[in-house]
């Protein structure tokens, strides 16, 4: 899939993995619509990137918000790429030490944003892609989702987060099979421990300890590592229906 002459949407595109992906896609020649709830960051990034980017405030769980962002992208150029980076986490055991059961509303919230929001973007972006003329190879677009190695190695206290990310992994293959008829690929990336704004809040000692637990390379993942993999997935049209772990061979312990 060629980025030049195409548009893309990136959710959570104003910071962390999403920001790096936005920058990478713009550098590759795509017109990128940034979907993010942080208006200040979204507008600042779009302004910095100039004509290659635009910002649309959006809640990924809103059908109207995402539909508007997809339509905005399609006005700039045919939509060919959608990347879902928006997500939230929450720490809580099924039953807390004091005997309190996990908050059901919080469980719903995490699944709604991480899983339902990802599907919302997938379905609307794919529908828009399906209307465009295919490339010479019959491809109309690619959707890249973000899961986590917690989908496979969920730790104590990650019940909601791990369940939501496992759902993203689970929808990848059937979505790719569903969309094969219209030439839209679906791929998921499962990052390990990445140097994101959330981790930046930790003391350096804790950050160093996390890095030491990664077999090789012994460092935190960089958002640029994630963006580079997105770029390769876009370019390599034989990658489809797969979840790719991006974790330096890390396997998470129970806690």
Alpha carbon distance 81, 129 (integer Å): 8
The string of pLDDT tens digits covering residues 91-121 is 899 999 999 999 999 999 999 999 999 999 9
CB atoms within 10 A of CB 218: 10
Among 153, 127, 151, 152, which residue's Cα sits nearest to residue 140? 127
Check if 161 is active-site: yes
Alpha carbon distance 141, 1 (integer Å): 7
The CA-to-CA distance between both ends of the chain, in Å, stands at 40
Which residue in this structure is represented by tokens 């302004």? 47
Q: Name the pLDDT band for 201 (thresholds 50, 70, 90).
A: low
Strands (E), the chain: 7-11, 31-36, 53-57, 79-84, 141-146, 184-191, 243-246
Q: Tell me how far CA of residue 184 lies from CA of 78, 81, 154, 210, 242, in angstroms.
A: 13, 9, 30, 37, 13
Alpha carbon distance 73, 90 (integer Å): 32
User: How would CATH label the architecture of 7-193+221-246?
Assistant: 3-Layer(aba) Sandwich (3.40)
Packing angle of the helix pair 39-49, 16-27 (nearest 10 deg): 20
The vertex-145 CA angle with 71 and 51, nearest 5°, equals 40
Contact 171, 144 (CB under 8 A): no
CA atoms within 13 Å, Cβ hemisphere of 177:
5
Indicate yes or no: pTM above 0.85.
yes
Cα-to-chain-centroid distance, residue 150: 14
pLDDT at 8: 98
Catalytic residue chosen out of the listed positions 55, 107, 161, 226? 161
The string of pLDDT tens digits covering residues 32-79 is 999 999 999 999 999 999 999 999 999 999 999 999 999 999 999 999
pLDDT at 167: 98
Contact 146, 122 (CB under 8 A): no
């Amino acid at each position: 899939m060629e980025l030049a002459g195409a548009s893309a949407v990136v959710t959570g595109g104003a910071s962390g993995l999403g920001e790096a992906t936005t920058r990478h896609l713009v550098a590759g020649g795509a017109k990128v619509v940034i979907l993010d709830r942080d208006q200040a960051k979204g507008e600042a990034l779009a302004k910095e990137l100039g004509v290659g980017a635009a910002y649309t405030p959006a809640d990924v769980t809103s059908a109207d918000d995402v539909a508007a962002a997809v339509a905005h992208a399609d006005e700039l150029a045919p939509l060919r790429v959608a990347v879902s980076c928006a997500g939230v986490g929450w720490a809580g055991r099924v039953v807390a030490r004091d005997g309190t059961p996990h908050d059901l509303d919080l469980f719903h919230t995490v699944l709604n944003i991480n899983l339902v929001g990802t599907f919302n973007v997938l379905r609307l972006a794919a529908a828009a892609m399906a209307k465009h003329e295919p490339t010479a190879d019959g491809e109309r677009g690619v959707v890249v989702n973000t899961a986590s190695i917690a989908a496979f190695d969920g730790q104590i206290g990650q019940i909601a987060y791990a369940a939501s990310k496992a759902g993203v992994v689970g929808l990848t293959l059937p979505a790719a099979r569903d969309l094969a008829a219209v030439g839209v690929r679906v791929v998921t990336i499962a990052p390990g421990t990445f140097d994101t704004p959330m981790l930046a809040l930790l003391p350096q000692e804790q950050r160093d300890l996390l890095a030491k637990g990664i077999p090789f390379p012994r460092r935190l993942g960089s958002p640029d590592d994630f963006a580079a993999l997105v770029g390769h997935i876009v370019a390599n049209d034989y990658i489809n229906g797969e979840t790719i772990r991006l974790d330096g061979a890390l396997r998470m312990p129970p806690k």
